[in-house]
Amino acid sequence: MTVPVTSARAVRGGTGKPLLSIRDFKVEYRTGSGTTVQAVRGVDLDLYPGESLALVGESGCGKTTFGLGLLRLLPRLGHASGQVTFNRGDGTEIDVLGLDGRDLRQFRWRDAAMVFQGAMNAFNPVLKIRGHMHDTMRAHTKATKQEIEERAAELLRLVRLEPERVMDSYPHELSGGMRQRVLIAMSLLLEPEVLILDEPTTALDILTQRSVVDVLHEVRERLGFSMIFISHDLSLAAELADRVATMYAGRIIETGGVRDMFYKPRHPYTLGLIKAVPPIVGDLPDLESIPGGPPSLAALPTGCSFHPRCKFATDECQEVDPPLIPITDEPGDAHDVACIHSDQVHLERRTAS
């Protein structure tokens, strides 16, 4: 189950130095019965400045745990290990997993912020939005009241909200889509270089979801931060991502540019996910489902964890857990896959019309 740390990956794709460099990242949870379960099993990933990376996969694949682990927000029974290096704009390198106390608080919000699923739970229900803005800014900066007001208003306008109205509202007085946009504005208060969004539009109505997506497009263009967004919705990844990483059973099993991933997926699981999404434009497509469900992390299949659901699986797949390796020689076109049968995997169905 050991995954080789491929340092070769680091220089591929993207430009310059990665903002976030993740090597052999693991998260373990202690269970009630004294055992441990590995929810993230050795992830290697680089996030480049300005890049938007989508992390996709079914529920229970470790996506949220991965995001929480990166920001050291795991519950007490969780433990993260490996190497996470954050390269600050000023040239300093930060060992995220070694941070503590004040430094850790500085890293969160200032360097990296997270927008959670279910916006209501992220707010203090008895505090107006103004209170949230001031609390966040005061905890991290020496900004004056006036400066905080201006900064908050600027960001609220950026997410297409009226500061005059929103600042004096309690969270419950806002609609779901407004709350989600307030959260995005708040997460950007301290100009983080990385934004992690966990299912940012799930549970929102279609038109509201569209407005949040449009807002994300806009603010990213204006502010130029990098983002990792976690989603089970592949269409959202198609819309928002520069690069896509597919996660299965705690590992990244394929990663590549968004066009490569959607038009030329090479892992049977990515292929299966794409073939299961009904498009809205055009005729009735042939959809296929992936049989079964993700395995329990406490009882993973031998070899490749996907083999029991995979139509390409052979005997060898029960023995070998393939590492994530590059499959393309084209420079700047990093596409890595963890499958010994990747040369047989082809998406034939869809052509961009």
Partner 1 sequence: MTAVDETPAVQDASGKPLMTLDGVSQVFDTKAGPIRAVDQANLSINPGEVLCLVGESGSGKTTAARMAAGLTRPSSGQVMFDGTDIWSLKKRDFRDFRRSVQYVHQDPYASLNPTRTIQQTLTAPLLKHGVVKGKQAAAERAYELLTKVDLTPPENYLSKYPHQLSGGQRQRVAVARALTLDPKIIIADESTSMLDVSIRISVLAMLGRLRDELGVGFLFITHDLAIAKYFGWRGRTAVMYLGRIVEFGPTPRIINAPTHPYTRALIDAIPEPDPDLTRTKNAESLRSLEIPSLAHLPPGCAFHPRCGRFEDGLCDGDVPQLIQVRPGQSAACHVVARDGADEPAA
Give contact residues for partner 1 (rule: CB under 8 A). 58-59, 160, 175, 177, 205-211, 213, 232-236, 238-239, 241, 258-259, 262-263, 272-274, 276-285, 287-291, 293, 350, 352-353
Nearer to partner 1, 149 or 239 (CB): 239
User: For 39, what's the count of Cα atoms within 13 Å in the CB-facing half-sphere?
Assistant: 22
Q: How far is the CB of 131 from partner 1 (least distance, A)?
A: 24
Residue 71, Cβ neighbours under 10 Å: how many? 20
Nearer to partner 1, 10 or 213 (CB): 213
107 to 24, 152, 291: CA distances (angstroms): 21, 20, 41
Nearer to partner 1, 147 or 162 (CB): 162
Using an 8 Å Cβ cutoff, are 84 and 21 in contact? yes
Nearer to partner 1, 85 or 202 (CB): 202
Q: How far is the CB of 59 from partner 1 (least distance, A)?
A: 6
Show the tokens assigned to 23.
């090597």
Q: How far is the CB of 1 from partner 1 (least distance, A)?
A: 24
Q: How far is the CB of 85 from partner 1 (least distance, A)?
A: 29
Using an 8 Å Cβ cutoff, are 229 and 240 in contact? yes
Alpha-helical regions (H) of 5-99: 7-11, 63-70
Nearer to partner 1, 79 or 350 (CB): 350
* Single-letter amino acid, residue 107: F
Phi, psi of 82 (to 5 degrees): 110, -155
Q: How far is the CB of 162 from partner 1 (least distance, A)?
A: 11
Angle between helices 176-187 and 145-158 (to 10 degrees): 130
Q: How far is the CB of 70 from partner 1 (least distance, A)?
A: 23
Q: How far is the CB of 87 from partner 1 (least distance, A)?
A: 28
Nearer to partner 1, 42 or 294 (CB): 294
Nearer to partner 1, 99 or 245 (CB): 245
Residue 2, Cβ neighbours under 10 Å: how many? 9
Show the tokens assigned to 344.
């047989």
User: What span, in angstroms and rounded, lies between the C-alpha atoms of 302 and 82?
Assistant: 23
* Single-letter amino acid, residue 6: T
Q: Dump the DSSP string for 249-292.
A: TTEEEEEEEHHHHHHS--SHHHHHHHHTSPPSSSSPPP----SS
Nearer to partner 1, 103 or 288 (CB): 288
Instruction: Give the H or E element holding residue 194.
Output: strand 194-198
Q: How far is the CB of 82 from partner 1 (least distance, A)?
A: 27
